[in-house]
């Protein structure tokens, strides 16, 4: 019963990620795409948490932290690129 | 003992996935960048917090394993997801992505056009 509930949660999460991918493909501006990719990263964190409950192991918790940090850094870098055209500004 | 862990974790995780699905539906259906960012940032943050807290409670109750890495992950997602949405919205506004047609008023436009060099 519990395993079936976990599988059902993973299926619903996959559906959410597919809707996000629709927004990544169709989004009119690039801010839409960055926003949807950030949301995909957050949904991946949730998927890893559900999968570690399903497998009953705690070997994947580093991945949660790691994907969170990587998704945040990538989002900030893309937002700076949209806003100013450069990611790292050069000091004079 | 293990049954209560499964009940609590199952309810929290299932609620979290439903909130994530609602967030994705909002991301598809809403009309412009700012409303979509509103949907995506808040509800998917709450959804993933539900799921991570369910995971934490599952491992605490079922085997007494209190994971400090999961606590760090919860804190990090809770702190950084709204900041990321804010930065994306600001970048979209400065790249002059238009608002949707039936939005009533753009108050930031007057402020950005005025003589305030600190925000420009």
Can you give the pLDDT at residue B115? Answer: 56
Residue A90 lies in a domain: no
Can you give the pLDDT at residue B120? Answer: 47
Residue A37 lies in a domain: yes
| DSSP state letters, B69-92 | HHHHHHHHHHHHHHHHHHHHHHHH
CA–CA distance, A11 with B89 (Å, rounded to integer): 30
Can you give the pLDDT at residue B62? Answer: 87
Total domains, chain A: 1
Q: Report yes or no: B55 and B107 within 8 Å, Cβ to Cβ.
A: no
Can you give the pLDDT at residue A73? Answer: 92
3-state helix, strand, coil split of chain A in percent (to 5) is: 80, 0, 20
Phi and psi dihedrals of A85, rounded to 5? 90, -15
Residue A92 lies in a domain: no
Q: Is A55 on the interface with B (CB under 8 A)?
A: no
Q: Is A28 helix (H, G, I), strand (E, B) or coil?
A: coil
Tell me what the mean pLDDT of segment A58-66 comes to.
88
Return averaged pLDDT per consecutive 10 residues of chain B, 120 residues in all. Answer: 78 91 91 88 90 91 86 90 90 81 73 60
Q: What torsion, rounded to 10 degrees, do the Cα atoms B51, B77, A68, B35 define?
A: 90
Tell me what the mean pLDDT of segment A23-43 comes to.
89
Residue A31 clears pLDDT 60, i.e. is over it: yes
Residue A40 lies in a domain: yes
Residue A68 lies in a domain: yes
Restricting to B residues 51-110, those with a Cβ less than 8 Å away from any Cβ of A are 51-52, 54-55, 58-59, 65, 67, 69-70, 72-73, 76-77, 80-81, 83-85, 87-92, 94-95, 97
Question: What range does the domain containing A69 cover?
Answer: 2-84
Whether residues A65 and B69 touch (CB distance < 8 A) is answered with: yes
Residue A27 lies in a domain: yes
Can you give the pLDDT at residue B107? Answer: 72
The interface predicted TM-score (ipTM) is 0.87
Residue A91 lies in a domain: no
Phi and psi dihedrals of A57, rounded to 5? -130, 155
């Amino acid at each position: 019963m519990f395993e079936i509930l976990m599988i059902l949660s993973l299926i619903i999460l996959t559906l959410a990620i597919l809707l996000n991918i629709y927004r990544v493909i169709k989004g009119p501006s690039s801010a839409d795409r960055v926003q949807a990719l950030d949301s995909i990263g957050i949904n991946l964190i949730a998927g890893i948490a559900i999968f570690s409950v399903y497998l009953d192991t705690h070997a994947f918790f580093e991945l949660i932290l790691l994907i969170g940090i990587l998704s945040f850094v990538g989002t900030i870098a893309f937002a700076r690129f949209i806003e100013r055209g450069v990611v790292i500004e050069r000091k004079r | 003992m293990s049954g209560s862990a499964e009940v609590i974790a199952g309810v929290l995780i299932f609620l979290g996935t439903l909130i994530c699905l609602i967030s994705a539906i909002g991301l598809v259906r809403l009309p412009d960048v700012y409303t979509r960012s509103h949907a995506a940032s808040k509800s998917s943050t709450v959804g993933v917090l539900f799921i991570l807290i369910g995971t934490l409670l599952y491992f605490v109750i079922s085997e007494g394993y209190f994971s400090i890495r999961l606590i760090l992950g919860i804190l990090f997602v809770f702190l950084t997801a709204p900041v990321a949405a804010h930065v994306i919205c600001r970048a979209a506004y400065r790249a002059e992505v238009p608002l949707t047609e039936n939005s009533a008023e753009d108050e930031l436009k007057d402020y950005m056009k005025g003589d305030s060099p600190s925000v420009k």
